[in-house]
Structure 1
Amino acid sequence: MRGAVDLSSLRNRPQTPAAPAGGAPPSAPTAVNSLVMDVTDDSFAQILELSRTVPVVVDLWAEWCGPCKQLSPVLEKVVAELGGRVVLAKVDVDANPQLSQAFRAQSIPMVVALLAGQPVPLFTGAVPEQQVREVFAQLLQMAAQNGVTGTVDVTGEAAPDEAAEPAEPELPPLHAEAFDAIEAGDYARAATAYEQALAENPRDEDARAGLGQVRLLARVQGLDLQAVRAAAAAAPLDQEAQFAAADLDLAGGHVEDAFGRLLDLFAALPNDERAPVRERLVELFGLIGDSDPRVLRARGRLTSLLF
């Protein structure tokens, strides 16, 4: 996307305030008084700057576009539910040809995110509300990884997370020890701390999730992606080769690829060799979360293979 979209010409324009959708522009150039804004070629520089604090979703639309009118209310609803963690910038491509050209909006509706001034493609076309929610959840994860973790308050003024969120409670000692070990790259010590926490409280779901994460980090540490993929391709029934490839898939965000790889392996193996594959799948399911649609689909396929 960075190679396809050139926003440099829009960065240094005079910062005409972005107008709330359907309303008058704010009085101060630096104020943003709505979570949903109409943005123009001239006011886009302000949105780029705002994206350094909070993720900005850009909705490229046109009045004549039927799918745009279907998608826009969905985007606005999901943005409102996120309570200031995301801002929506609406761009009428007919009225703003330079933005349309910059984003190469050949088909609309087109939805792009801005993180720290950099464009991130999301999707094109009117998509279901559930898919919008999933994409926004992934956007927030990406934003956190890139340090874009601010919020806007109800009046739209940018505010850091510390001001918007109450202070987090102090971590239990074993959890704190695990976090310190993770920061030091000592995954074995982190795993030991989480295992001890679970021994003391088997219902500690945070410790269970943390243990799964550090085990994954330990397994992928030092792996060569190309070598692992080549080994998995050469030996489709080798459990260790497929486990390593699935771990790298999951660590890289390719969740469905990881699940699909292990489910295909499970289906191909004799019944007496399936148990380790099922255990690894269950472990990976726990890392993603039982309510995630990708986990639900994978569990459904696993159940059908079992029975």
Structure 2
Amino acid sequence: MHSLFSRRQWLASSLSGLALAAAGSSAVQAQTGPRVLRIGHQKGWLSILKGRGTLEKQLAPLGVSVTWTEFNAGPVQLEALNVGSIDFGDVGEAPPIFAQAAGAPLVYAGATVPRPQLEAIIVPKGSPIKTVADLKGKRVAYNKGSNVQYFLVKLLQKHGLQYNDVQSVFLAPPDARAAFERGAIDAWIIWDPFLAAAQKTLDAQLLVNASGVVNNRGYYFTSRDFATKNVDVLRIAIREINAIDTWVAANKPAAAAELSKVLGLDTSITELYLSRAAFGTAPVTREILAEQQQIADTFFELKLIPKKLNLLHAAPVNLS
């Protein structure tokens, strides 16, 4: 179990940002030579899309081929996008803010439906922590710059606490799991499938999930240049990802079995994960950008990013 999580270290601090720019969105620019969609991915739903080969079949009539590169960590994946070696990948809702603050030329291609039950605060069995108020002064571990950091901020605010009322311990999932096991932290904020694995294998107790606090969307990103020239390709990619989502929602037992093979996890863990998941992927809207703007504003107020951002200055491209 630990070796799996070591391979699946999640996003650290700099990832993607912005919405698809409107300029050039109405038509695909002329291409010089064969087109290629270079996808970077970590183990998960994009791995299943790769295995099925449906995206390649849909893009073939356009003369577009697809390449896949698997990454073991988010920062490497996004660095690859920045240097132009991949065109497309996936990310959560908070890390893009840090990338935009750093001036990364990255744009959103699609967004999932809200998935608040997929991240939560867990405590060891028998912990005296029974409510969010009990977290005051406690050692709370989470991945810095990730979705769960934003979740913590908004959760504390909802319960009348300040961000600094807890002792933040910045740990990647493998290290946080180890600290949780040996009692070096009081609580751990984590997402699925790490969350389900901790519940199943460590008897971790769920204190509260993100329902009613944050949306916890997932995003698919691309580069500004690729988005401008390949709207038709992105439209098909998002459609095929949503087709996987639709299948999973209707076939959770089979999906859990397939995902367990991809992740190297026991099926009981992926079954728990999928039992509380919501599925659906679509193009980004201005309403979704407004959610991202709230995250950016919150991080600026906490001085987690160096400048105030404006994510609403350009309308997202129309992929419908």
TM over 0.5: no
Which structure has the higher relative contact order (CA within 8 Å, separation 6+)? 2
TM-score when normalising by structure 1: 0.25
More strand by share: 2
Which protein has the larger Cα radius of gyration, Structure 1 or Structure 2? 1
More helix by share: 1
